[in-house]
Structure 1
Amino acid sequence: MNPKARSFNFSSTLEYLLPAMVFTLGMHLLRVFISGLAWYLRDTVGISTISLIPYAFGTFLLGFLAAALRRLAGSRNALWITAGGVAILRLVEQLSANPALDFGLSIVGVGLFLNFLSIFIGHIRMQGDRAAPRWVYGLVLGLAFDIALRGVFGARDLNTVSGVVPLVVVIVIVVLIFWSLWREPKPEAGIASDATWKHALPLMTIGPYMVLQLLFFQSQGWVEEVAGLNAPLGFVIVMLGNLAASVGIAWGFARPRSMHPILAFGIAIYLALVVFYADQAGGMIVFTILIGQLLMGWGWAVVASVAKRADRPGLWRTTVFVAGGMVLFLALAFAYYLAMDIAMPFPRQVFPAAAATLLGLLLLNASIQTRSQTEVASWDLSGISVAGVLAIVPLAYWALLGSAPTPEQPSGLPIKVMSYNIHSGFSFSGRQDLEAIAHVIEDSGADIVALQEVSRVRLMDGSADMSTWLSQRLDMPILFRGTEEPIWGNAILSRYPVLESGWGELPLAGTLIKRGYLWARIDVGGPQPLLVIATHLHHLPPDSLARQAQVPIILRFWDGQGYSLLLGDLNAQPDWTEMKLIADAGLLDSWSDAGVGPGFTFSSGDPFQRIDWIWHSEDLVAVEAQVLQTQASDHLPVVAILDIAP
């Protein structure tokens, strides 16, 4: 079967607008919801991790209402309710600065978004042959547009960025959604809108696909950390991956029978291995992103070709598999992060690998069904053209970004240093506000800053690239090293030249979250380079033995060297054994030298314990130490001015 050639078609591009824009805003609301579960409900409200399950799954079960909503309101009205509802709620959320309201809006918004997915598929099935490419290109282009927007705003969600510009962007998207709804044709009565159970089954692919996309394939931070690349190369590669996905879709529609079942089975094995060893891929992750996206795009075309067949009234079968797929997404993503709180009998990487395996098996099912497909296929370059334009965005951003921050000429001691657990950018009230974190650091005048709980495009943390953005915003070079994941860990900001740097792992000692330390030798203009060690020890107070196992590893690396600092959230109070180990090794506590009062650093809303520390070697002296009062994080930053000891 030779595909008919078809060039760029502007009307086809307009057809992709509604699903792409709704998908973009749906991703915004989904990230608010997922991060809200962790940082608002759990950390601010105080709900246990297990108690989050009803909130999480209760919200996603709303997706099963799609068939009933369509039956009550009609196809076009249901589309207006869901797509329009997503648009309005996202606009309100942009105007809100209340984390409780944000989370409530995200619950309703995610529910409407999940219903939109099924209702839109049923709606366009009634419009003929354009059904398959329209929704699948809309999905992939929506992801690409979402990443492009976040990249332009420094890998931050627009809802976390204040000001007129992000508000105008959201308003434009909302207007485009309502314009697209207005021009959406009303389907004729009596036309079939649902598929058989057999043909609807591959739609469940959306769940495993979203797991892979949101955890790995759309994370420029993951790409840069694993491959050792500088920003914004990860942004460029992720956008090229989305372009590759569009090429895969076009190829799949042009040659639907080329997805042989054996090839689909191979894709399942390939993707499972790729995500299981995603943190060990090195430079090969670049090819992994491009090849993986090409194959998944190809697979989506096959799934859509099967699922477009409508020969039943209603929407129940489509609803069951689309909503079921998204519940599967939640279950796998939730379990992936739950493994950091509750011990599992297997590595947490099993969950994304399971997603990849399920995706491959669903592609296998779809590929078997396409073997009997006989309709004439054609090339459609419209989706590729849009993805190509979006792929230019990171290149333009790179050109406009200018050079990376450069160090200042060192002026010698004294210097001001800070240790700050930034709580993944979430304030004490549970709202992510990186600008508030930046203000705290900037106003302190610190020359060297050790940061903990820093993430780089991590789904649970709102997918912000914190280290890159803070470095650019503060005009300070940064070192970052992931611990539990390549994209979550410790960082060091320094105004002065870093001469040498490295990192080390700390023992788990029966705990679940991997810990480590980051070190740098910094030229501060003193008699010799300053050794700065930044770390974040195990967090549960009763588990002192775990910290007692971690501290000696750091002390062994330090090895009594002069001109040294140990900074970090050590999760231990002054009279605890693990802190006595540090004191007995010869390091001195800056707060004991120069602080006034108890020096409590946690929690920022009602401080009651001192667990954030600045230790220094005996050849240095703290001449001033203070705890800054701010609720930009759940911790208070501790700051000290250090000079050469007399």
Structure 2
Amino acid sequence: MRHRHLRTAALALGVVVLLDVLRVWLPSIITIFGRAAETPAELLGAFALGWFVLALAAPVLVRRLGPRPVGVVAAGVLAAARLALTAAPGGRSQLWLACAGLLAGLVWLAATAATVARPVPGLAFGLAGAAVGHALLGTEDLVWRGGALGWALSVLLVLAFLAASAAAIGWFPRPWHSSAVPERPAAERRSGPTGVRAWLIAGPALLVAGQLALAPALWSASYSYGYGTADFPGLALPPDGPVSWFPAYAIGLFLAAALTRPPSWLGRVVWPATLLAGAVLFAADRPGWLGWAYLLAALGLGGCFARTDGVSGVVEDSAADRAHKATGGDPPDTGAFRRAWAAVCGMVLFAVGCVAYYAAYDLGYANGWVPVGTAGLIALAAVTGPAQAAPVLTGYARRLTALMLAALALLAGEVHRPEHSVASPNQRTAEVRLVAYNIRMGFGLDGRLDLDALTRAVDGSRPDVVLLSEVDRGWLLNGGHDTLALLAGRLRMPYVFAPAADPVWGDAVLSRFPVRAGRTEPLAAHGAPTGAQALGVTLDLGGRELAVVATHLQPPPGQGPVAQAGEVAAFAIRYAAGRPLVLGGDLNTEPGDPAFAEFTRAGLADALVAARPLRTSPADDPRSQIDHVFVTPGLTPSGATAPRSTASDHLPVAVTLALP
């Protein structure tokens, strides 16, 4: 394998490992350091940004000690942290391991940038490979998986990364070379600061790829949204049928655009416009536009990447550089130092974008500008790039890419396939077991994504209907998982999803009975920074119907959700239209509060009153009951419980409802 292809392979594998660590670090900042929004947003943001600011010292370290020793040590620490995170018990140890792995990854990135002047192929293959792997795992990270298979795959990934890195820097003997250090490719020898632009947008590109363009969970959510009907405006009701092939199209378009040499007019105009169009569609908060958003963003991101991979000038090696290389050392390349700075500064931009996006849900401003602004930076780099992009693929690399593109269609078939109804429409039932649960995006009190524990917490009550709050379907800040699809698959229950804060965060209803109709209604914010909605679905219980409403009320700072409670109660009564009704979820109010009284004033009865005190929060020391179930007269509740579990920061509530 040519030396430059070894560097490409090492960079691609390193990106996959770094993304694995980031998918643990990001939710750890929120759930462990942030403690479910108890930590002030300013302190959380400063802590998160501090690690990236600290990495700004990496280029100086690389310049003084050389990229090889720094890169070797950083790669070793990154690999060790990646494996340790799989074994970590969660909590503070997970947080600090993730921080150490992140810092090592940033230092490794700076060292790699100093030796790789043309990073686009490695970055593109790394982002695409991470997306394919995430899709094959159903969007559940490999780092969260234990067992023999999970550990074997993790070890293989880390060993492949370390082996490729060692080969790329010349640790392994290569008898086909005569002596000393392999000669750098002509483009690297002659171009001086070539690669600075590509390294600078690596961080913003990672943000756009993880949040939108190459996010498998977003594909899953978009696919299910595509089957809404006139009765389900904006709802996701998965039907029978094959999964979407769009993931293959998205990755294929991304790689094809990133690894080819387009005409100048195409790169300067079409690719930036395409990327911006995808980001704007995503920021528009329209669920039906998600599919187009990620396809356009994938194509535009790949094309803009290619535009940054040009040769910016001819700078021959100096006599000092040639003498330094003759001794087997790395030349004191000014371009290498610039690339190291660009790589770290690009990751600082990544961190700023993540913090700005998340802080909106504490501070109450519109965060749709974050993906648009990030895409704008990438588009600007492409527009102002060299007039002629350099060729990217040569020789067998072109054939390898063709094979990868062909294989994507097969890989896409492994993306999560939603479960479907298991109850017959003609099966008449006299009672329904219902569970309402705030799942905190799938993260337990220890800060780990443990879907098996979450499944046990729900399935232990043998539910027929499940109402879920804080459902995440692809937030990069939470690791990019489709938590709803993963949980529904384990429970073997189909779902209906309704967006609240944005198209991939909201509430859901899972049911063993067929769903016949549904509607979602956004709730007025009333000063609350996070959006809320009311989701109504109609279940067929074998000749009779049951109206179910799921919601998660968001109180304004320092107040109760009184206004939203009144809106939800009124919506539920209208939606039920005389049919038996059950309403539940995380209502962020306690019995006796004014918001709680809004439901009883509407004629609804507390289905959990017989089991009080039934405290549900916090899960490890429950002191308050803020999760509730209300019913209309005629439904008879019994067997109310709040099973103990630390799979979320809330306890689930379960109750059996006898139909009239």
Partners of 2:194 and 2:2 in 1: how far apart?
Answer: 34
Partners of 2:214 and 2:155 in 1: how far apart?
Answer: 24
**Counterpart check, 1:152 vs 2:136:** yes
**Contact preservation (8 Å) 2:279, 2:372:** yes
**Counterpart check, 1:441 vs 2:458:** yes
**Contact preservation (8 Å) 1:548, 1:577:** no
Q: How does 1:133-144 map to 2 (within 5 A)?
A: 135-144=119-128
CA shift in 2, pair 1:136/1:610, >3 Å: same
CA shift in 2, pair 1:391/1:138, >3 Å: same
After superposition, the C-alpha distances for 1:328-357 in whole angstroms (9 at most, x for unaligned) are 11112211121111133xx31112111111
Counterpart in the other structure of 1:532: 548
**Contact preservation (8 Å) 1:568, 1:613:** yes
CA shift in 2, pair 1:309/1:375, >3 Å: farther
Partners of 1:62 and 1:233 in 2: how far apart?
Answer: 47
Counterpart in the other structure of 1:571: 588
Counterpart in the other structure of 1:630: 645
**Contact preservation (8 Å) 1:235, 1:394:** no
Shift of 1:62: 3.4
Q: How does 1:270-309 map to 2 (within 5 A)?
A: 270-278=274-282, 279=284, 285-306=290-311
Partners of 1:637 and 1:606 in 2: how far apart?
Answer: 14
**Contact preservation (8 Å) 1:415, 1:642:** yes
Q: How does 1:440-519 map to 2 (within 5 A)?
A: 440-519=457-536
**Contact preservation (8 Å) 2:501, 2:532:** yes
**Contact preservation (8 Å) 2:418, 2:488:** no
CA shift in 2, pair 1:98/1:195, >3 Å: farther
Partners of 2:647 and 2:404 in 1: how far apart?
Answer: 37
The amino acid of 1:532's aligned partner reads V
**Counterpart check, 1:83 vs 2:75:** yes
SS in 1 for 2:149: helix
After superposition, the C-alpha distances for 1:607-636 in whole angstroms (9 at most, x for unaligned) are 111110111110111122111111111101
After superposition, the C-alpha distances for 1:178-229 in whole angstroms (9 at most, x for unaligned) are 2212322448499888976797245322232222111111223334444624
SS in 2 for 1:320: helix
Counterpart in the other structure of 1:217: 213
CA shift in 2, pair 1:284/1:463, >3 Å: closer
The amino acid of 2:613's aligned partner reads P
Counterpart in the other structure of 1:129: none
CA shift in 2, pair 1:377/1:18, >3 Å: closer
Moved more, 292-301 or 240-249: 292-301
CA shift in 2, pair 1:42/1:280, >3 Å: closer
Structure 2 residue ranges without an equivalent (≥5): 171-179, 227-237, 318-331
Q: Identify the match of residue 352 of structure 1 among 371, 391, 412.
A: 371
CA shift in 2, pair 1:587/1:176, >3 Å: same
Counterpart in the other structure of 2:327: none
Shift of 1:10: 9.2
Shift of 1:486: 0.9
Counterpart in the other structure of 1:4: none
SS in 2 for 1:574: coil
Shift of 1:85: 2.1
Counterpart in the other structure of 1:600: 615
Q: How does 1:117-516 map to 2 (within 5 A)?
A: 117-125=109-117, 132=118, 135-186=119-170, 188=181, 200-226=196-222, 228-229=225-226, 230=238, 236-252=245-261, 255=262, 258-260=263-265, 263-265=267-269, 267-278=271-282, 279=284, 285-306=290-311, 313-314=333-334, 315-344=336-365, 347-366=366-385, 369-371=386-388, 380-382=397-399, 384-385=401-402, 387-388=404-405, 391-397=408-414, 404-409=419-424, 410-516=427-533
CA shift in 2, pair 1:313/1:354, >3 Å: same
Partners of 2:143 and 2:392 in 1: how far apart?
Answer: 44
Partners of 2:601 and 2:132 in 1: how far apart?
Answer: 52
Q: How does 1:40-79 map to 2 (within 5 A)?
A: 40-43=32-35, 46-79=38-71
SS in 1 for 2:35: helix
CA shift in 2, pair 1:234/1:12, >3 Å: farther
**Contact preservation (8 Å) 2:74, 2:108:** yes
**Contact preservation (8 Å) 1:217, 1:238:** no
Partners of 2:443 and 2:540 in 1: how far apart?
Answer: 32
**Contact preservation (8 Å) 1:551, 1:581:** no
Q: Identify the match of residue 620 of structure 1 among 635, 648, 657.
A: 635
Partners of 2:541 and 2:375 in 1: how far apart?
Answer: 48
Shift of 1:493: 1.1
Partners of 2:440 and 2:374 in 1: how far apart?
Answer: 29
Shift of 1:514: 1.3
After superposition, the C-alpha distances for 1:556-613 in whole angstroms (9 at most, x for unaligned) are 5346623110011110111111211110111110112x31x31111111211111101
Shift of 1:388: 1.7
**Contact preservation (8 Å) 2:273, 2:300:** no
CA shift in 2, pair 1:435/1:194, >3 Å: farther
Shift of 1:100: 1.6
Query: Percent of aligned pairs with the same residue?
Result: 22
CA shift in 2, pair 1:546/1:221, >3 Å: farther
CA shift in 2, pair 1:285/1:612, >3 Å: closer
Partners of 2:653 and 2:475 in 1: how far apart?
Answer: 26
Partners of 1:542 and 1:358 in 2: how far apart?
Answer: 38
Partners of 1:53 and 1:288 in 2: how far apart?
Answer: 28
The amino acid of 1:221's aligned partner reads A
Counterpart in the other structure of 1:128: none
Shift of 1:105: 1.4
Partners of 1:143 and 1:189 in 2: how far apart?
Answer: 27
Counterpart in the other structure of 1:580: 597
Partners of 1:77 and 1:202 in 2: how far apart?
Answer: 24
Structure 1 residue ranges without an equivalent (≥5): 1-8, 126-131
Partners of 1:377 and 1:492 in 2: how far apart?
Answer: 48
Shift of 1:250: 2.7
The amino acid of 1:587's aligned partner reads L
SS in 1 for 2:116: helix
CA shift in 2, pair 1:306/1:291, >3 Å: farther
Partners of 2:157 and 2:21 in 1: how far apart?
Answer: 14
CA shift in 2, pair 1:588/1:150, >3 Å: same
The amino acid of 1:238's aligned partner reads P
SS in 2 for 1:50: helix
SS in 1 for 2:622: coil
Counterpart in the other structure of 2:104: 112
**Contact preservation (8 Å) 1:239, 1:391:** yes
Shift of 1:378: 5.5
TM-score, length basis structure 2: 0.85
Shift of 1:141: 1.6
**Contact preservation (8 Å) 2:221, 2:504:** yes
**Contact preservation (8 Å) 1:498, 1:523:** yes
**Contact preservation (8 Å) 1:272, 1:357:** yes
Shift of 1:35: 0.9
Shift of 1:546: 4.4
Counterpart in the other structure of 1:3: none
**Counterpart check, 1:609 vs 2:624:** yes
